């Protein structure tokens, strides 16, 4: 069985210029945990909820460092406002992972699954003839097993 047999074709993709605020809304409204990122039709990254958490943790660490230099007592509200202002200015391109693993539609499913396990990722963009044609997710693999198409 090949990736083309179980992938989700024609996935939604985002632009690197999309504000992080809109990314958060898309993750919730589409009920997914990540999106491929395209620029001029070319796959340039992938962005996930985990990337947002990583950036938020980094912003808190930065604020901790900056907070040490603030003479007045810091309130949670002012800290939140500072971090919120920095996040508001960020785009998908600022938080996405640029080194993206991908597979072709002809890749054997077992090979793609092994790649996902070894890389500890839950999704692989499927690229055929230089264009994003699908997305293989851990849910696609589980669905294929549940349907009896994979053992």
**5 three-class SS:** helix
Q: In this structure, what DSSP letter does residue 147 have? A: T
pLDDT in tens, 81-93: 666 666 777 899 9
Q: What's residue 71's pLDDT? A: 45
Q: φ and ψ at 136, to 5 degrees?
A: -105, 120
Q: Mean pLDDT: which of 11-15, 49-53, 54-58 is highest?
A: 11-15
Q: φ and ψ at 76, to 5 degrees?
A: -60, -35
Cβ neighbours around 22 below 10 Å, total = 13
Give the pTM: 0.80
Domains of the chain: 3-146 (3.10.580.10)
pLDDT in tens, 110-125: 999 999 999 999 999 9
**Residues 71/72/76/82 CA torsion (nearest 10 deg):** -60
Beta strand spans in 3-137 (E): 8-9, 34-39, 42-48, 123-128, 131-137
DSSP per residue, 35-49: EEEEETTEEEEEEEH
Q: φ and ψ at 150, to 5 degrees?
A: -130, 150
């Amino acid at each position: 069985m090949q990736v083309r047999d179980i992938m989700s074709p024609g996935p939604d993709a985002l632009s690197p210029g999309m504000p992080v605020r809109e990314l958060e809304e898309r993750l919730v409204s589409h009920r997914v945990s990540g999106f491929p990122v395209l620029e001029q039709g070319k796959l340039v990254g992938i962005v996930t909820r985990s990337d947002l958490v990583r950036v938020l943790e980094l912003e808190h660490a930065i604020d901790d460092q900056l907070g040490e230099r603030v003479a007045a007592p810091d309130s949670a509200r002012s800290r939140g406002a500072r971090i919120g202002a920095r996040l508001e200015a960020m785009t998908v391109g600022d938080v996405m992972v640029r080194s993206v693993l991908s597979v072709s539609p002809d890749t054997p499913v077992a090979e793609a699954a092994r790649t996902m396990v070894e890389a500890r990722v839950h999704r692989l963009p499927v690229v055929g003839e230089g264009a994003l044609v699908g997305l293989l997710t851990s849910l696609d693999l589980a669905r294929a097993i549940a349907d009896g198409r994979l053992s």
